[in-house]
Amino acid sequence: MTDAADDGGGTPAGASGDGLRGPRPLWRQRDFGIFWAAQTLSVLGDSFALIALPLLVLEATGSVARMGLLTAVGGAASVVAAVFAGAVVDRVDRRRLLIVCDLVRMGLYGAIPLVWLFGPQIWLLYVVLPLCEAVGMLFAVGYVTVVRGLVGTERLTEANGRLGATAAAAGVLGPLCAGLVAAWSGPAAAVGVDAASFGVSATCLFFVRFRTRTAGDERTGERQGLWRDLRTGVAFLRGHPVLRSLTVLLFVFSFLTLGLNDLVIYHLKHDLGHDDGTVGTVMALGALGTITGALLVARIRRRLGFGPTWTGAVAVCGLAFAGLGWARDVPVVAALSAAFLACVGVAGTCSMSLRQEVTPEHLLGRVTSAFWTLHYAAAPAGAALLTWAAEEQGTAPVALAAGAMCVLLAVTALFTPIRGSGRGRKPV
């Protein structure tokens, strides 16, 4: 790839519509590098909110069910936004959309520490988080659709793996710092750091030049409303055997696992009696697993193929989840969290890369939107149910049951077209 000089129409040189023009490594491509930095900064701050918002609720109410309710409300807003996110992304300038999403989240999250100066206001979290999750879904769909234009189809898995690895590295530092900030200054201050990170990310994105979509990519005349756009994305998923199977299995997986973060925090704080600093340390150590998974995913997929990689990752996720509630020592909780997050990263990167590889450019936003709408449709209810059950029955039996069902999903995948998408075979 050549560096960031435009080659006429705003297309970053080195990235064409169908792949690469040269073998220049990703780290030497200016636009991808800036985009990479923006995402890392955004995740660094976002990991503060991942810890701080549940801690704010737990500090004020002492209830894991209320933590789960906040997660459920945010998840529901994300699902609703996913319905129209693809249509929006396929219609507007994607660079501008990403910048606006970052700025909106900066303002919304920034309101929390300001209001908290006058005392806890739990209601504000139930307003801010759903709005941020909805905007975040728009950002996420847009983010997925621009990577191929930056690096080309041949390097999608590598690029996604690198984005995931550095995001995970930020995810290690973020929870660790968030736990320290929360212990010293309170969880609201940690949310303030999150708000600032979105401002820095927006500034970085301002300097990225994305590939200009061609008239064939746009095809705006074919789009006649949000529901038709969603049906178009669903139809593509239904017509692709592997994506169809993935969508169904991930629907159940997200139902079982969206509340895991709340469960781990509650287990550490309530069951084991540790402080906010310990929570941050455990989450940071767990995120090391995400780094490992992100760095290894391209190599593992090349060696084993999509099917074995994805299925094995989901199976290990289930085993790790099953053991979390029974772990009584902090190092064991951290190790199991790391194993779970590593395999979530491997499975997620494989799934996203496959979607990017097989979906036509002009459909990518709508297919991504439909995929995530279906993927997370039941997840908010699952998070609420998981945390309610943990409060009523304890974390150990709930984690064991959810983990066992995740393993069952991996076994089920062996009887779907996912199994056949192995090494040396293109997923179809």
* Digit-coded pLDDT (tens) for 186-214: 788 888 888 888 898 899 888 887 766 55
Per cent of the chain over pLDDT 70 is 87
Confidence of residue 425 (pLDDT cuts 50, 70, 90): very low
What span, in angstroms and rounded, lies between the C-alpha atoms of 157 and 12?
A: 19
What span, in angstroms and rounded, lies between the C-alpha atoms of 116 and 421?
A: 51
* Digit-coded pLDDT (tens) for 23-78: 456 656 777 888 888 888 777 777 777 778 888 888 877 788 888 888 888 888 88
Say yes or no to pLDDT of 11 above 50.
no
Are the C-beta atoms of 187 and 52 separated by less than 8 Å? yes
Say yes or no to pLDDT of 9 above 50.
no
pLDDT at residue number 324: 87
Does the pTM surpass 0.85? The reply is no
What span, in angstroms and rounded, lies between the C-alpha atoms of 148 and 16?
A: 9
Q: What is the architecture of the domain spanning 15-212+226-413?
A: Up-down Bundle (1.20)
Q: How far is CA 129 from CA 62, 108, 360, in A?
A: 19, 8, 33
* Digit-coded pLDDT (tens) for 132-190: 989 988 888 787 778 877 777 677 777 777 787 777 677 777 777 777 787 787 788 88
Write down how long the chain is. Answer: 428
Say yes or no to pLDDT of 4 above 80.
no
What secondary structure, in 3-state letters, does the chain show? CCCCCECCCCCECCEECCEECCCCCHHHCHHHHHHHHHHHHHHHHHHHHHHHHHHHHHHHHCCHHHHHHHHHHHHHHHHHHHHHHHHHHHHCCHHHHHHHHHHHHHHHHHHHHHHHCCCCCHHHHHHHHHHHHHHHHHHHHHHHHHHHHHHCHHHHHHHHHHHHHHHHHHHHHHHHHHHHHHHHHCHHHHHHHHHHHHHHHHHHHHCCCCCCCCHHHHCHHHCCCHHHHHHHHHHHHHHCHHHHHHHHHHHHHHHHHCCHHHHHHHHHHHHCCCCHHHHHHHHHHHHHHHHHHHHHHHHHHHHHCHHHHHHHHHHHHHHHHHHHCCCCCHHHHHHHHHHHHHHHHHHHHHHHHHHHHHCCHHHHHHHHHHHHHHHHCCHHHHHHHHHHHHHHHCHHHHHHHHHHHHHHHHHHHCCCCCCCCCCCCCCC
* Digit-coded pLDDT (tens) for 123-136: 999 999 999 989 98
